[in-house]
Amino acid sequence: MRIETPAAQCGPFAHDQVSIPRTMGLVMLALLPATLFGLWQFGWPAIWLFLATIVGALLAEIISLFIAGKPIKPDLSDGTALLTGWLLAMTLPPWAPWWIGVVGGLLAIVIAKQIFGGVGQNLFNPAMVARVALLIAFPVEMTRFVTPTPLFSAAAPGPVDSLAITFGGQGFDAFSGATVLGQVRMALGQGETLTTILPELYTPLASAAGTVAGSLGETSALLLLCGGLFLLYRRVITWHIPVSLLGSIAVLATLMHLLDPAHYAGPLYHLVSGATLLGAFFIATDPVTSPVSARGQLIFGAGCGVLIYVIRTWAGYPEGVAFAVLLMNACAPLIDHYVKPRIYGRDRRGQPLEYASDTETRR
């Protein structure tokens, strides 16, 4: 019998059922409930903006790949550009004009990702770079929020009216609202105390469910938490960053609240408001821009949490997730350099282990 073998390949001849498109798909699946809720709650203008942002991101990716002479189809189908656009859209004010989304998509992909060399090479989280750039360049559009007007409700604009809002630049002052974080911050700035303002502005239940004014996909803390737990369950992310991020916010908030309840809100307020949960489970956990080791991730998450609290409480902006994540992104290589796992057979300083003679005789 004549048996032919193909040229020998290199091992291992087994591979886990994992790939980058699959990982990105799982993240999108986890984002889906909160996204659908946001789109439903803020209606057609939000849907148009969501689409505009994603189209912007994908176009930017195609153009960048074309200019760089890279294969377009395989690199586009890894799903990273789609996810970047999606995440960016979730953090935008839901009724922002279309060009906010498109410019954001371009910034995220071209400036934050492709200029660094594409997938895996970027130092900063692309969606957060775009969000911060937009916030600084277009402060008016980026801080104009609306009160929820769910799809099919009487007050909600239809698809065609919404085109005028998203693409026509039509104002929507009648629907204007402000985020809880923003309102509380402003009221505190005017010398009021939390005991008087919080009961009017904030109910934990509404903030957890997400029926409040806010960014497109950030409002529903509960759905984001479900998505995050799904990612943990599917082992796409590990617990280190979310737990240390949320934990450090909770500890700081509790401490400050106990010291001065009139000016510092409790931990639950910080956990369910703004982008905390989106940041903890979906933004800070971006593998490319976070440390690789478990201990490094704990430090990174805690750093993000502390910065979020500090920016929200004492800095000039009511929300600080994007700034905090970017600042910690810059620290990630440093953390990776100093925080390395202990290697088998070596101690923490990298020297070969030495067993005392009594260890030997004991065995």
Q: Considering only residues 187, 232, 331, 339, which one is a binding residue for another protein as defined by CB under 8 A?
A: 232
Site for another protein in 38-97 (CB under 8 A): 74, 78
Give the Cβ contact number of residue 23 at 10 Å: 19
Rounded to 5 degrees, what are φ and ψ at 177? -150, 175
The two three-digit tokens of residue 326, written as one number: 């970017």
Report if residue 239 touches another protein, rule: CB under 8 A: yes
Using alpha carbons, select from 127, 53, 114 the residue that is nearest to residue 84: 127
Beta-carbon contacts of 314 under 8 Å, excluding residues fewer than 6 positions away, are none
- Least separation in angstroms between CB 45 and another protein: 34
Site string for another protein, 294-333 (x = CB under 8 A): x--x------------------------------------
Q: Which is nearer to another protein, 4 or 200 (CB)?
A: 4
The CA-CA-CA angle for residues 298, 299, 304, to 5°, reads 100
Q: Residue 121 or 193: which CB sits closer to another protein?
A: 121
Residue 3 or 136: which CB sits closer to another protein?
3
Residue that the structure tokens 């969501």 belong to: 50
Nearer Cβ to another protein, position 19 or 176? 19
Euclidean distance between CA atoms 305 and 280, whole angstroms? 9
Which of 331, 333, 326, 329 lies closest to 131 in space, CA to CA? 326
> Which residue lies nearer to another protein by CB, 240 or 312?
240
Q: Is 20 in the site for another protein (CB under 8 A)?
A: yes
Q: Smaller CB distance to another protein: residue 8 or 174?
A: 8
**Ramachandran region of residue 51, left (φ > 0), alpha (ψ -120 to 50) or beta?**
alpha
From the CB of 57, what's the least distance to another protein, in Å?
17
Minimum distance from residue 4 beta carbon to another protein (Å): 7
Report d(CA 320, CA 308) in Å as an integer: 5
* Residue 15 binds to another protein (criterion: CB under 8 A): yes
Does 19 bind another protein (CB under 8 A)? Our answer is yes
Residue 323, Cβ density class (10 Å: 0-12 exposed, 13-18 middle, ≥19 buried): buried
Residue closer to another protein, measured from CB, 25 or 177: 25
Tokens 């307020």 found at: 269
Q: Measuring CA to CA, which residue among 280, 248, 254 is closest to residue 267?
A: 254
Q: Among residue numbers 334 through 363, which ones bind another protein (CB under 8 A)?
A: 336, 340-346, 350, 352-355, 359-360, 362-363
**Residues in the site for another protein, rule: CB under 8 A?**
1, 3-16, 18-20, 22-23, 74, 78, 118-121, 232-233, 235, 238-239, 287-288, 290, 292-294, 297, 336, 340-346, 350, 352-355, 359-360, 362-363
